[in-house]
């Protein structure tokens, strides 16, 4: 089995960026909305405000990067950061 290398993922994303744009917008927006829902279910506190700000900011930053047509490599790393941090927020707020 071939190992996945980050450079291969970036190259694939760069070569097919117009195919990945709608797919990744849907993916990260759904994950971000799940994270936001779980954060808001915890009640109102400073910690939930910080978590919600981080969640929404990352999702908006990725969408803005795509709209501004930034380099594909930069958009890829914003996507990765958004997916990782929103996944961590989902896991934290589930338990």
Question: 80: closest CA among 6, 3, 5, 2?
Answer: 6
Residue 21 lies in a domain: yes
Residue 16 lies in a domain: yes
82 near 58, Cβ under 8 Å? yes
Supply the Cα-derived Rg of the chain in whole angstroms. 15
Determine the pLDDT at residue 1: 47
Question: Residue 3's pLDDT band (boundaries 50, 70, 90)?
Answer: low
User: Which residue did the predictor score with more confidence, 95 or 80?
Assistant: 80
The total number of structural domains in the chain stands at 1
Residue 49 lies in a domain: yes
The pTM assigned to this predicted structure is 0.85
Residue 1 lies in a domain: no
Domain that holds residue 54: 6-94
């Amino acid at each position: 089995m071939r190992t996945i290398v980050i450079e291969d993922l970036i190259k694939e994303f760069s070569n097919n960026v117009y195919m990945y744009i709608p797919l990744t917008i849907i993916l990260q927006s759904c994950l971000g909305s799940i994270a936001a829902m779980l954060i808001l279910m915890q009640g109102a506190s400073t910690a939930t405000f910080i978590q919600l700000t981080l969640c929404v900011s990352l999702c908006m930053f990725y969408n803005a990067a795509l709209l501004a047509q930034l380099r594909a490599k930069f958009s890829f790393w914003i996507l990765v950061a958004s997916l990782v941090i929103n996944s961590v927020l989902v896991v934290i707020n589930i338990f």
